């Protein structure tokens, strides 16, 4: 029997690419998104249009439906669950962005905590098989030990965004313990690629360098990021659809729970210099750089230990920063006049 999957945040960057992959793999998919204006909604609408064209062109047998729904709206979300019998829920809907969480923390509480609690309640009553949800590498805060491992402490978030993601992990563990359904959290490490978020550095840097504007290099360029290409991320998620954590006590507690958290990253951090060089090479233009101190909420390095995820799913990223940036820049050149993205 074909399984039906709910993807929240389906007009977002990861959600858009994931829906395509799920449909190609024969899953029926319902996508929901609030289409908010955190960044230009035209980009989200362009993703939805591209997805609709993809469905028509591929003549897929799988079912696809999109509805505008905000997960913080409890009644609207309940109706989506009442109208569908979901086997799997993938929650990617969230208020993203570290720096914006300093300016507008309430948006993060509403979406990332209230909205996620609504998801958990709906999953509980609908008796879904598995919930996969987005966490973030930001939960590691300023941890000095590298690479980050899932057993490292995550008690000291340095942004409201990170605190909300840690709260998601705690809520998922408690719901799984109390109500018995499977929860898998994914700590994403700097995802990039075509149709990406314009607030991310790779997108804003590309636009600025292309137009001859200067770029801000924080912490004097002494930053490392575990950039992970979108195709690798999507493959990693799809490979987890049939995974169910064992309902066993963990190394810290006797409380049984079918909840587990994985790092999902490239396992190969890239310096800011190499990252900018890749953009310059792909554009054929040089960057004008403003060197600035590190910003509040930022961390100097991210580096994912992915051994746990690899052991259960075979996850191993394949895309180098040079290849990934080249693909993104090619997409950007083709679409920069259609999508403002700034």
Beta partners for 8? Answer: 32, 91
Which listed residue (161, 175, 192, 303) is catalytic?
Answer: 161
CA atoms in the 13 A half-sphere facing the CB of 300:
9
What interhelical angle do 115-126 and 160-179 show, nearest 10?
20
Known active-site residue 161: yes
List the structure tokens of 294: 């590190």
Task: Give residues with Cβ within 8 angstroms of 212, minimum separation 6.
Answer: 285, 288
**Residue the block writes with tokens 């493959």:** 235
For CA atoms 55, 59, 64, 67, give the dihedral sign.
Answer: positive
**Neighbour-count burial of 106, counting CB atoms closer than 10 A to its CB (0-12 exposed, 13-18 middle, 19+ buried):** exposed
Under 8 Å between Cβ of 159 and 297: yes
Q: What amino acid positions are annotated as catalytic residues?
A: 161
């Amino acid at each position: 029997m074909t399984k039906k999957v709910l993807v929240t945040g389906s007009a977002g960057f990861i959600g858009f690419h994931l829906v395509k992959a799920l449909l190609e793999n024969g899953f029926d998919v319902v996508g929901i998104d609030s289409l908010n204006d955190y960044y230009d909604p035209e980009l989200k609408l362009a993703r939805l249009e591209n997805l609709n064209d993809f469905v028509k062109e591929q003549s897929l047998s799988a079912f696809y439906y999109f509805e505008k729904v905000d997960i913080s709206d409890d009644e609207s979300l309940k109706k989506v669950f009442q109208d569908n019998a979901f086997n799997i829920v993938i929650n990617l809907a969230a208020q993203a962005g570290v720096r914006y969480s300093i300016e507008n923390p309430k948006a993060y509480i509403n979406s990332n905590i209230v909205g996620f609690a609504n998801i958990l309640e709906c999953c509980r009553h609908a008796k879904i098989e598995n919930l996969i949800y987005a966490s973030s590498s930001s939960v590691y805060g300023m941890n000095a030990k590298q690479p980050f491992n899932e057993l490292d402490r995550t008690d000291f978030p340095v942004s409201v965004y990170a605190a909300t993601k840690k709260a998601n992990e705690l809520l998922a563990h408690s719901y799984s313990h109390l109500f018995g359904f499977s929860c898998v959290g994914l700590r994403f490490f700097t995802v990039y690629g075509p149709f990406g978020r314009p607030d991310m550095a790779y997108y804003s840097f590309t636009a600025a360098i292309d137009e001859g504007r200067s770029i801000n290099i924080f912490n004097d360029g002494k930053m490392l990021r575990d950039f992970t290409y979108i195709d690798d991320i999507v493959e990693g998620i799809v490979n987890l659809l049939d995974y169910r954590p064992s309902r066993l006590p963990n190394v810290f507690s006797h409380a049984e729970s079918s909840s587990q958290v994985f790092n999902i990253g490239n396992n190969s951090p890239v310096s800011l210099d190499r990252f900018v060089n890749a953009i310059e090479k792909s554009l054929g233009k040089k960057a004008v750089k403003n060197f600035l101190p590190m910003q509040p909420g930022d961390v100097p390095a991210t580096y994912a230990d992915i051994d746990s995820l690899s052991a259960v799913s075979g996850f191993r990223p394949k895309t180098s920063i040079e290849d990934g940036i080249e693909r993104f820049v090619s997409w950007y050149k083709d679409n920069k006049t259609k999508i403002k993205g700034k």
